[in-house]
Every structure is written in structure tokens, then in C-alpha cells.
Chains A and B, each alone.
Chain A
Amino acid sequence: EAQVTQNPRYLITVTGKKLTVTCSQNMNHEYMSWYRQDPGLGLRQIYYSMNVEVTDKGDVPEGYKVSRKEKRNFPLILESPSPNQTSLYFCASSLSPGQSPGNQPQHFGDGTRLSIL
């Protein structure tokens, strides 16, 4: 089954304790992205990756890191989490090889709800 898998689904942690949210897709997609969803703000892009070893900042990258060492995985790293990073996070992927960028719908994971105390 084609899917984007995020882990964990829920996490409560404390300020300053490094954490990683994993994201994996099994569709051989080239493009992967991270979003955060906050009430009244919709979804905002944090980082995206066009392919292995190619990453770029989205609209709200501060406080986050990403890496793309393998095509299927795109982890989101919070080196020193702070309470303002409490949010619902989504990973997404799209763009099968040989297709045009932009016109492909993104496939989303089920979301990770992070609470940072």
C-alpha cells in the first residue's frame, strides 16, 4: 500500500531535549516536505527536498533541521525544542520520477502531534 509514514504520532517532551520525527515513503517519490499546522494559520511549509541531498527552506524553517540521505526518508530534527514549536506536523511526498513538478498532489502522512513543555 502506497503511504507516507510518520513516527511518532504523538510526543510530549520538554524544552531543549533534542528530538527527531521520522518520515518514510514507499512510492519512490522525489519530492518530500514538512509542514506544521497551527490553529488559524493553516499549514506552513518548514523544509522541502527535491531529491537526495537536495533540501531547501520553506516559510518557517527556524529551529528545525532536515536531512535527505536516502530517497525514502526525510527526518525532521528539532535540536533544541521550544514551546512555540508545539504543533501538528505533517510530512508529505509527491513527484514520481519523470513527471512534472508542481502538478502532482502531495501524499500526506497521518500527522505527528508534538507538545513541548
Chain B
Amino acid sequence: AQKVTQAQTEISVVEKEDVTLDCVYETRDTTYYLFWYKQPPSGELVFLIRRNSFDEQNEISGRYSWNFQKSTSSFNFTITASQVVDSAVYFCALSEVYSGAGSYQLTFGKGTKLSVIP
């Protein structure tokens, strides 16, 4: 069964510090997809990034970057020069593709609450 572990329950940083959110996953499939979502205090879930299992290139989007390493089954998320608006709960998620049934399930980690202190 697939599993996503976000070991950091809560993190606090001072504004402008860099912070890395860890995500470790388990899957039996060779084809899978990884996601990060952000949940700000207002409660909605915002999609940040998608990565498939065949693409280990790291990605950077502004102050956000993601490090995908299949060898360690990790998909870590780094925020550079953090800002107060980055304060949110961040979820890592994994989806597998079940062959034959044509369906898939998205499994979320328990989330990491990031607080950026001004």
C-alpha cells in the first residue's frame, strides 16, 4: 500500500530564512506521481507542483524548489527567503496508477504546519 510520511509536524522560522519540508513516500509501483499542496489559514487547498516518477529533475519556481530523489524515496520542498505569506500547512501527496482497473488513489501525508515569524 502507498504511504506518505511528513515527519515534521510543525516548523517555525523567522522571515527570510530558508526552510525545507521533508516528504518520504512508499509505493509498490514504478509509475507514480507526487504532488505538493498548500493550505493557507483560509482553508482552501492550493496545488503547487506535480512530478512523475520518471522525471528526477529538480524544479524551481521563484522562491520554491523541489528535490526529488528516487534513491531515497523523497520529494522535499524548499522555500527560500521565507515570507509571512508562506505560513500554511503543506501537504505532500502520492498517486499510483492501478493497471487494469484504470483508477487511482491520491494519498496525502499528514501535513507540515509552517509558521513564518516576522
Question: Is B32 part of the contact surface with A, judged by Cβ < 8 Å?
Answer: yes
Question: Is A98 part of the contact surface with B, judged by Cβ < 8 Å?
Answer: no
Q: Chain B: residues with CB nearer than 8 A to chain A?
A: 9, 31-33, 35, 37, 43-45, 47, 50, 52, 91, 95-97, 102-111
Question: Is A2 part of the contact surface with B, judged by Cβ < 8 Å?
Answer: no
Contact B102 A101 (CB under 8 A): yes
Contact A105 B47 (CB under 8 A): yes
Known interface pairs A41-B110, A102-B97; A50-B35 also in contact (CB < 8 Å): no
Docked complex Cα distance between A44 and B35 (Å): 15
- For the residues of B in contact with A, the DSSP-based class is strand
Contact A108 B45 (CB under 8 A): yes
Min Cβ gap A16→B in Å is: 27
Docked complex Cα distance between A35 and B37 (Å): 14
Q: Chain A: residues with CB nearer than 8 A to chain B?
A: 33, 35, 40-45, 48, 50, 56, 58, 88, 90, 92, 100-108, 110-111
Min Cβ gap B77→A in Å is: 15
- Give 6 closest A-B pairs by Cβ, nearest first: A42-B110, A108-B45, A102-B104, A102-B97, A105-B47, A43-B108
Contact A48 B108 (CB under 8 A): no
Contact A110 B47 (CB under 8 A): no
Contact A106 B47 (CB under 8 A): yes
Min Cβ gap A20→B in Å is: 21
Q: A58-B105, A102-B95, A105-B50 provided; 4 other pairs, C-beta below 8 A? A: A40-B9, A103-B50, A105-B35, A111-B45
Contact B44 A102 (CB under 8 A): no
Q: Which residues of B are found within 8 Å of A100, using beta-carbon distances?
A: 97
Contact A102 B35 (CB under 8 A): no
Contact A106 B43 (CB under 8 A): no
Min Cβ gap B30→A in Å is: 13
Known interface pairs A102-B32, A102-B33, A102-B96; A108-B43 also in contact (CB < 8 Å): no
Minimum CB distance partner of A9 in chain B: B43
Minimum CB distance partner of A33 in chain B: B106
Other-chain residue from B9, B102, B109, B111 in contact with A50 (beta carbon distance below 8 A): B102
